Chain A
């Protein structure tokens, strides 16, 4: 299977490229980037041709593209790839507004290609185990969910609203609300949120908290931020706690680690020892494509989680609950 990567703007592009190199019968065959310098560096690193022209790139013998561009470019790249009959794995968030996301889903459907969104948290082993426990009824009826996704300020284009479409709330909400939807098979119906600049001097929001009500009556709290500073022992957290009538279970993806104590700027470092979720995501996505099956995560999943993050911004602006 031939894979092309469209843009190395997102840091995940490098882990996806490394994953492709480890998967049998899979080859990274071409790289396209809007940033020529960045694209040429990746081309040299992975020893594959670089294309500065998207049409020439898409004319190559490529089965699948991985889109890791700045968020605002997702739409253009997804639509072009879909029209060239390439299956697509697009970084999250699917788009920066709902209309674009819907159009991307529609064009992919019209062209008979799969559009999947990169939510690697779905591939975390403890996150998957909790899904199994919920489906087996071990927690009983779900009453509430509590989640956090708090990391370090990513810098670069992530903090440029013109390129990212939002700040920490957009960046760090979509993963966990995707997990909530996946766990419950229920959609959000109301969001109340605050978002602002609490930790940095950025022009965009660096933190937000929200209360979500789902169609099934479950209430959820979510804390999204870039509140972790470089001296913090770990990048941040990806935590979800599910409160059920029979049991409560809590998972923090990054709690599988070693503690390294040392002298210097950082006295304690958490060394992550859990499974490689980026690798597992790529393997599962390519497996689905190879077997003509639907990928685990759809464009629709990307749309629904985007709607929640954008509703959080709207609620913050209007200072009231937003119904979906």
Chain B
């Protein structure tokens, strides 16, 4: 039995033969109960959670993250170049993404944030480093949800684009949540994450100067 909180504008992939998906509260095994309100016993999205219990990051809640994690585990994740771009109307993802990325790539440091706006278009570029030898560009652009991700390291390059890499572009489900990714990559929130989040917020503020 898994309970999961989904934000209103999010959808879950429900093709798994392992689970029955329902919005009814259920205690049966192999049932995923989808909730829309925060609930302490459920997997909750970082964005609307009260920062307690099982928290999942948006970035690592999609199918691509499962494959990506396997690639990263098989190869060097100490040295390389990380590039993430989100097209979104929620720029609050910035701190969440940095926290999510730091889980996989090491602590963030040397943060610079630059933004520009024209009409309805906002654009933010975060330049930073993770761990000892990873440099990263995280970019945020106004518009309908899209994730572009690239990781380049010695003799390995992995790329993902939620808009382009789809089986059916008229029925693109790349940004539907994947229950296995959520369960696999969720963290149990504790004081360590409170401190980490606070540090990231300070680095982002300082990085704007």
User: Is B8 in contact with chain A by the CB < 8 A criterion?
Assistant: no
Between-chain CB contacts (< 8 Å), 10 pairs: A143-B121, A198-B152, A199-B153, A211-B114, A217-B116, A219-B125, A225-B152, A227-B81, A229-B155, A244-B121
Shortest CB-to-CB span from B76 to chain A, Å, is 10
For B87, the closest partner residue in chain A by CB is A248
Most A CB contacts (10 A, CB to CB) among B79, B125, B133 go to B125
CB distance from B88 to the nearest CB of A (A): 14
Question: Shortest Cβ distance from A107 into chain B, in angstroms?
Answer: 37
| A150 to B80 alpha-carbon distance, docked (Å) | 13
Please provide the chain B residues from 103 to 137 with a CB less than 8 Å away from any CB of chain A in the complex. 110, 112, 114-123, 125, 127, 129, 133, 135-137
Is B83's beta carbon under 8 Å from chain A? Answer: yes
B15 within 8 A of A: no
Is B157 located at the chain interface by the 8 A CB criterion?
yes
Partner of A232, one of B116, B121, B136, B157: B157
In addition to A144-B116, A223-B83, 18 A-B residue pairs with Cβ atoms within 8 Å of each other are A143-B121, A143-B122, A144-B141, A192-B112, A192-B114, A193-B127, A194-B110, A194-B127, A194-B129, A199-B152, A207-B135, A209-B127, A209-B135, A213-B114, A219-B115, A228-B157, A229-B155, A244-B118
Within 8 A of B (CB), among A187-213: 192-194, 196, 198-200, 207-211, 213
A245, CB-defined interface residue at 8 Å: yes
Shortest Cβ distance from residue A184 to the other chain B in the assembled complex, whole angstroms: 12
CB distance from A73 to the nearest CB of B (A): 31
Measured in the bound complex, the distance between the Cα atoms of B121 and A220 in whole Å is 14
Contact status B120-A209, CB under 8 Å: no
Q: In the complex, what residues of B have CB within 8 A of residue A198's CB?
A: 79-81, 133, 135, 152-154
> From A201, which residue of chain B is reached at the shortest CB distance?
B154
**A211 to B139 Cα, complex, angstroms:** 11
Which residues in B have their C-beta under 8 angstroms from that of A72?
none
Per-residue CB proximity of A145-168 to B under 8 Å, as 1/0?
Answer: 010001000000000000000000
Chain B residues whose CB sits within 8 angstroms of the CB of A140 once the complex forms: 118-119
B80 (CB) vs chain A CBs: closest residue: A198
Range of interface residues on chain B? 20 to 34
Q: Decide if B157 touches A223 in the complex (CB within 8 Å).
A: no
Question: With A196-B135, A221-B137 in contact, is A143–B127 under 8 Å at CB?
Answer: no
In angstroms, Cα B152 to Cα A320, docked, is: 24
Contact A221:B125 (CB < 8 A) given known A196-B133, A243-B141: yes
Across the interface, do A225 and B125 meet the contact criterion of CB distance under 8 Å? no
User: Is A251 an interface residue, CB under 8 A from the partner?
Assistant: no
Residue A141 interfacial (CB < 8 Å): yes
Is the CB of A52 closer than 8 A to any CB of chain B?
Answer: no
Contact B153 A143 (CB under 8 A): no
Residues of A within 8 A of B155 (CB): 199, 229
Count chain B CB atoms within 10 A of each CB in A143, A220, A244 and give the residue with the most.
A143
- A80 is an interface residue with CB less than 8 A from chain B: no
Quick check: A319 and B110 within 8 Å, CB to CB?
Answer: yes
Residue of A nearest to B136 (CB): A209
Query: In the assembly, what is the distance between CA of A150 and CA of B81, in Å?
Result: 12
Minimum distance in angstroms from A209 CB to a CB of chain B: 5
* Residues of B contacting A319 in the complex (Cβ-Cβ under 8 angstroms): 110
| C-alpha spacing A321/B152, complex, angstroms | 25
Which of B85, B122, B137, B152 lies in contact with A227, CB distance below 8 A? B152
* Residue interface bits A291-324, CB-to-B below 8 A is 1, else 0: 0000000000000000000000000000101000
User: What 0/1 readout, one digit per residue, does chain B (56-89) give for beta carbons within 8 Å of chain A?
Assistant: 0000000000000000000000011101010000
A192 contacts across to B, CB distance below 8 A: 112, 114, 127
Looking across the interface, which residue of chain B has its beta carbon closest to that of A144?
A: B123
User: Shortest CB–CB separation between residue B54 and chain A, in angstroms?
Assistant: 34
With A146-B139, A219-B114 as known contacts, state yes or no: A245 contacts B121, CB within 8 Å: yes
> In angstroms, how far is the closest chain A Cβ from the Cβ of B113?
9
B127 close to A210 (CB less than 8 A): yes
Chain A residue contacts of B120, Cβ below 8 A: 245
A218 at the B interface (CB under 8 A): yes
